Homo-oligomer: A and B are copies of this chain.
Amino acid sequence: MTFEQKHLDQFYKIAGSYIDSLNHSDTLVRPKATSAELNEIFKFNIGSNLKEPNEIIDDLKKYLDFSTKTGHKNFYNQMFARSNLPALLGELTSVINNASAYTFEVAPVATLMELALIKKMSSLCGFENGGGQFVTGGSNANMVAMLCARNSLVKNSKELGLSNSKPLRVFVSEHSHYSFIKGVNVIGVGMDNLIRIPCDQLGKMKVELLEKEIIKSLAEDTIPFFVAGTSGTTVLNAFDPLEEIAAIANNYSLWFHVDGACGGSSLLSNKHKHLLDGVSLADSVTWDPHKMMSIPLICSVLLTKSSDALLKSNSSKHTEYLFHDDEEINIGESSLQCGRRADSLKLWTSWSYYGDAGYEKRIDRLFELAEHTRSYIEKSIVFDQTYVTSGITVCFQYIPDGITNADKINEFNRSLRVKMVDEGKTLINYSELDNNLFFRIAFLNPDISIDDVDETLQGLEMLGANLLKN
């Protein structure tokens, strides 16, 4: 049987109900089901038994039913959350059109939107004639930034590889994202050549140690070529002192990268953009609009100070079957991808709807929600801030009355998190640092209310009290 209008109408209804359900407290964020149970429900054997259209529609409903609801108002678990509606509509349109954003010929509008957004974002970074591109994720952006740096600073490495080179060194803070570790593996630098600089109590890179490590690397006859400051680390949401790092990068002729995958969006806020002071000195910037700008996954951008950095680093010969000698620009030439989803439309619709002013409010709101949470934690008799944060994450433990042993506190918080996941009403992640195990609540959805947050925290207090009773 083939699909008919009634099946599509059914699908539209299911999609609508799903989106509505994300604001209801009685919708579980995470329906409990083990892989064994899901295997039973879905029967993942593929190819042998055909399904009718109505069965496919049923499967899609089941998929939504049993999926973790990342758009739920009580989802605080990852560094992304609910997609905003204009962005969601943009993404759905992009899927329906199915353009590959490599040539103007097959993706004319997406090409121009991408160029316009890159221009806008790069000017927010203070780049006068910047370039850049949508990439496949923040991890990819960081890797490509290191590749640009390597190809720019290590002579002929694009053509000859690294076998003739001395060992290369990359410098990041110890709180930086693991994508740098994966990235130095990929580009042939090697994981042992990633130097992770210690951070202060707030999670910011100790820049005096950066210089020491660079000098040490030079003494070891290696080539320091890349340093990244992180704007908004994953756990503490700390912002490295970019100006100081830039000065050192400049002194030692290193490529200076800013990983603003999370915090880059703070540039939209007059109140918070100072956190990225110095970003204009960067050679490249990672910025994921799918995080604080609430765009559906994936929406990641790598910006470069030099407009042709990506083309220089990534272009190759023998692409003429795809990239003809056209009058219009083919943005795929500077990309490592061949087929490329058009990730620009969703950001464009969203930005068109909210405008700079609306986005400023949304970004500020995320900080406010976190700030409110910090004061809630301060007042709470059971919660304790494990680390001082000032960004959009809050790190705290539940301290059971009378327990002072750190391991026992950790164990209790681990059990409490398990309980929370089991219950499924709300989802807050946990992290481990310096032998502390603590909740890390992340604010990426500006459309929730203070009441929503209070309800979540009260719920966690009650859950903890119940856990103590049993």
Contacts and interface: CB of A to CB of B under 8 A. Distances in A.
B83 A336 contact: no
B190 A341 contact: no
Q: Which 10 A-B pairs have the closest CB atoms?
A: A188-B188, A161-B190, A44-B116, A47-B356, A136-B136, A181-B316, A50-B355, A162-B162, A162-B188, A160-B190
Contact of A163 (B78, B104, B162, B235): B162
Given A60-B89, A160-B193, A297-B339, 15 more contacts: A11-B89, A15-B92, A35-B112, A38-B109, A47-B356, A63-B109, A66-B108, A67-B99, A160-B167, A161-B188, A162-B165, A181-B317, A182-B314, A182-B316, A235-B321
A33 B60 CA distance: 38
Given A15-B93, A100-B80, A191-B159, A328 B137 contact: no
Contact of A44 (B93, B97, B113): B113
A105 interface: yes
A298 B147 CA distance: 23
A34 interface: yes
A165 B163 contact: yes
A16, A39, A47, A71 — which one has the most chain B CB atoms within 10 A of its CB? Answer: A47
A219 interface: no
Interface in A153-176: 156-168
A315 to B, nearest CB: 8
Contacts of A339: 79-80, 137-139, 288, 290, 297-298, 300
Interface in A134-154: 136-140, 143, 147, 150-151
